[in-house]
Amino acid sequence: MKIYTKRGDGGKTALIGGVRVSKDSLRIEAYGTVDELNSYLGLLVDKTKNKKDIGDFIKYIQDRLFTLGAILASDPKTSKMSLPDLQEDDVILLETAMDKMNETLPELKNFILPGGNEAASVAHITRCVCRRAERLAVALAVKEQVPEISIKYLNRLSDYLFVLARKLVKDAGNEEIEWTPRKGK
């Protein structure tokens, strides 16, 4: 099987369901950003290789993001294909993981600057890509059908990534960098 088909050379691609759309469509931008998010999660797994529990959970998240990508890549009007789905339990798993990590973290009293160590920095970048994917899914939902659970999942995932970044800093024995706003004139 060849990877290239040459059908996209004119700037159009097919959604699940066969409808061809411009590659700059909001639906393509949304699922492309979910793909980018998934790639950054792969990098995060590589940066946390000595933490099998984190890597295993992130791989589970990556599977959910493939599901989300399929949902976003599908034309809801024409696709008859049975797709996997996101469920409320997927959101609850993220919340449970955050609650468990938060038990070991100091109370957050100030904004913190992204960073602390390389793995935490990758987690913060991944969080930002997740927020962008969420914004694009919200924008798409204004114009087309997007399951509400998709947006909810992305929202909770970005929260999870923030808490994970904090945990990665703490586990490495590094310090969080608190944001100290400059006093106005």
Above pLDDT 90, what percent of the chain? 72
pLDDT at 125: 98
Say yes or no to pLDDT of 78 above 80.
no
Say yes or no to pLDDT of 92 above 80.
yes
Name the phi and psi angles at 113, rounded to 5.
-85, 140
Domains, in order of start, for the chain: 21-76+85-104+112-173 (1.20.1200.10)
pLDDT at 122: 98
> pLDDT tens digit string along 118-158?
999 999 999 999 999 999 999 999 999 999 999 999 999 99
pLDDT at 134: 98
pLDDT at 101: 96
pTM > 0.85: yes
Instruction: Check: CB of residue 90 under 8 Å from CB of residue 156.
Output: no
Say yes or no to pLDDT of 13 above 90.
no
The DSSP output letter for 17 is: T
- In whole angstroms, give the CA distance from residue 150 to residue 46: 26
